[in-house]
Amino acid sequence: MNNFYPYSKPSLDDDDIEAVIEVLKSDWLTSGPSVDKFELALSSAVNCNHSVACSNGTAALHLVMMALDLTDGDVVLVPAITFLSSANAVRFVGAEVAWIDVDPQTGLITEQTLLSAIKKNRGKNLKAIINVHMAGQCNHLESIYQIANENNLWVIEDAAHAIGTTFTNSSGDLSKIGSNTFSDLTTFSFHAVKNIVAGEGGAVTTNNPQLAEKLKSLRCHGMTAKPEIAPWYYEMTRIGYNYRITDFQCALALNQLNKLELFKQHHKKLVHIYNEVFSENSFISGIQTSISCDPCWHLYVSLIDFENIAIDKVSLITKLKDLGIGTQVHYIPLYKQPYYKERYGDVSLIGAETYYQKALSLPLYHSLNENDCYRIAKIISENVK
Ligand SMILES: Cc1ncc(COP(=O)(O)O)c(C=O)c1O
């Protein structure tokens, strides 16, 4: 093949560029009308009362930890398979992380793995759970929320991968990721490889007006304007950060948000092509999909039976790269990171280990056309034997 196909890349059109230029020609570069516009559009897109946009998805998670007053001695349950930020945000506020295992077929936590993590950590100061929507899929949000409520835990959805995903509950009602129908807060990332991009960017959604106000204050140094006292007056009531997002990032994110459904449908077609081609090869498959979730796929994670084929993961990655196909691994179980190993000792969770051994993310992005996707899938399948 002539081109190189990365595992992901942003999809930017002329209208995205024009939206950014328009803001650059205006008087507002940050904390201006494009931020407000994007927050309103996001609330409406995910069906939630409040959105607070911020500098990135990691900052969004940190804001959530602070807004919930999590601190030293508290414990937050985090999936073993996720990006570093999901756990690091817990550590930013001094709280401790406890791992939840995942289903090896999906990379998601399940009711069983959550219950087992709660049982294992009984007696500790368990405060919250972070439910990560790996690759764009979600687990049974309603059951996870019920278990969390029964155990007095906040539910935070880390939806860095899952803007545009929907969930159908046991009564057949559909809810959007970010609506917080089955959670307290949801965080998003608009990093350059995500489904909608702002370069860097993030947001928190919630239906709790007090939490929304607190998030806004924490995003901007912990300060609140007090025009009732004097036109210039502001008060800092808590320690906060500069986690603001610029207007030109929000203009880009807003333009991208308007194309989310297009991205979702195209990614679905590509996922279908991979799944069809791989259905003829018993050594490779896509991650299992759940009937209650309609995913806006961010990643195509293939699961490869490396134990029973002639090629190992490193050699396959190198070979595919030479053939013009980029791949990536999402993710190394977090407990393997030296920082977490030193803090929490050696951990090995069977679901996370099995998933990690098999997982390889393949090219998935809007400008990847169906013919190229088919050829990529065929080449991969031919090399997995
Ligand atoms: C699951 C997950 N959570 C959080 C983040 C953090 O987002 P950001 O890169 O915008 O800080 C990422 C980013 O890759 C992620 O994949």
The chain-wide mean pLDDT, for the chain, equals: 97
Q: What is the pLDDT of residue 3?
A: 86
pLDDT of residue 2: 60
The low-confidence residues of the chain, meaning pLDDT below 50, are: none
**Ligand 1, from 64, 83, 299: best to mutate by most atoms within 8 Å of Cβ?**
83
% the chain with pLDDT above 70:
99
pTM (predicted TM-score): 0.97
CA 277 – ligand 1 centroid, Å: 30
Q: How far is ligand 1, taken at its centre, from the CA of residue 22, in Å?
A: 28
pLDDT in tens, 91-110: 999 999 999 999 999 999 99
Q: How far is the CA of 198 from the centre of ligand 1 (A)?
A: 13
- Our mutation pick for probing the ligand 1 site, out of 61, 133, 191, counting the most ligand atoms within 8 A of Cβ, is 191
Provide the pLDDT for residue 1: 59
List Cβ neighbours of 130 (8 Å cut-off, separation of 6 or more).
Answer: 61, 76, 77, 78, 79, 82, 86, 90, 156, 157, 158
Which residues line the pocket of ligand 1, CB cutoff 6 A? 56-58, 82-83, 85-86, 132, 158, 160-161, 189, 191, 202
Encoded tokens for 44:
């409406």
C-alpha span between 9 and 11 (Å, rounded): 7
Distance 309 CA to ligand 1 centre (A): 32
CA distances from 19 to 14, 38, 193 (A): 9, 12, 19
